[in-house]
Amino acid sequence: MSKKRGLSLEEKREKMLQIFYESQDFYLLKELEKMGPRKGVISQSVKDVVQSLVDDDLVSKDKIGTSVYFWSLPSCAGNQLRNVSRKLDSDLESSKKRHAQLVDQCEELKKGREESDERVEAIADLKAIEQKHNELKDELAKYKDNDPAAFEAMKEAIAVAHASTNRWTGSTFYAFFPPFFPRMEFYLRG
C-alpha cells in the first residue's frame, strides 16, 4: 500500500491562488477553509497558507466591519510582477552608475601611483623598516620577563592574592572555631 504524500507549502499556495483566480471573487476565511479541502489543502493549514500569500502580496486582505475579506485577481499578480520588474531595473541602473563611479575613482587613484624607480625604492625602504620593527618587537618580547614595570605589577598581584587568601582562610577558621576561643586566635596570630 502506498501512503498519500501531503502537499508542500508551495503546492498549497498554488492551489489556494487557483481558488482566487478561477472565481475572481471575495472570500471570508471560513469560506476558504471549506473550499481548501476540495483543492487538496487541509482546512487546518488554509489560514497559514492564506497569510503567507498575504505577506507576499499575492492576496489582498481588507477588514470591513467585523469581517475580513480576502481576494486576488490575475491582473493584480501581473501588476505586482511589473512593479518588481521596474524596481529591479532601477536597482540595475543605480548599480551601473555606482560601478562607473568606482571605476573612475580607481583610475584617478592610479594617476599618482605609476611605477617608477623612486616608488620601487620607497616601497623597498618601507619593507626594510617594517622588518627591522618586527625584529625589535621580537627582541623586546624576549626581555619582557625582566621588565621592571611587569615585575612591580606582579608584586602587587601577589600582595592582593595574599590578602585574599588570608581573608578566606580567616573566614574558614571562624566557621569551625567561633571567636569565643580567644587563646586559639592568639596562637594562630603569633
Q: Is 155 a member of any domain?
A: no
Q: Is 142 a member of any domain?
A: no
Q: Is the pLDDT of residue 99 over 90?
A: yes
End-of-domain residue from the set 61, 88, 109: 109
Q: Is 35 a member of any domain?
A: yes
Q: What is the pLDDT of residue 27?
A: 86
Q: What is the pTM of this model?
A: 0.43
Full domain range(s) for residue 18: 9-72
Q: Is 133 a member of any domain?
A: no
Q: What is the mean pLDDT of the chain?
A: 82
Residue 16's CATH number:
1.10.10.10
How many alpha carbons lie under 13 Å from residue 79 in its C-beta half-sphere?
9
**Domains: count for the chain:** 2
Q: Is 146 a member of any domain?
A: no
Same domain as 67, residue 28: yes
Same domain as 104, residue 79: yes
Q: Is 97 a member of any domain?
A: yes
Query: Which residues, including other chains, have CB under 8 Å from residue 179's CB and lie 6 or more apart?
Result: 185
Q: Is 135 a member of any domain?
A: no
Question: pLDDT digit string (tens) for 121-140?
Answer: 888 999 999 999 999 999 88
Q: What is the mean pLDDT of residues 180-190?
A: 53
Same domain as 95, residue 57: no
Question: pLDDT digit string (tens) for 45-56?
Answer: 888 888 888 888
Strands 60-64 and 67-71 come out as: antiparallel
Lowest mean pLDDT among 23-27, 53-57, 61-65, 164-168: 164-168
Q: Is 81 a member of any domain?
A: yes
Q: What is the pLDDT of residue 97?
A: 96
Same domain as 65, residue 25: yes
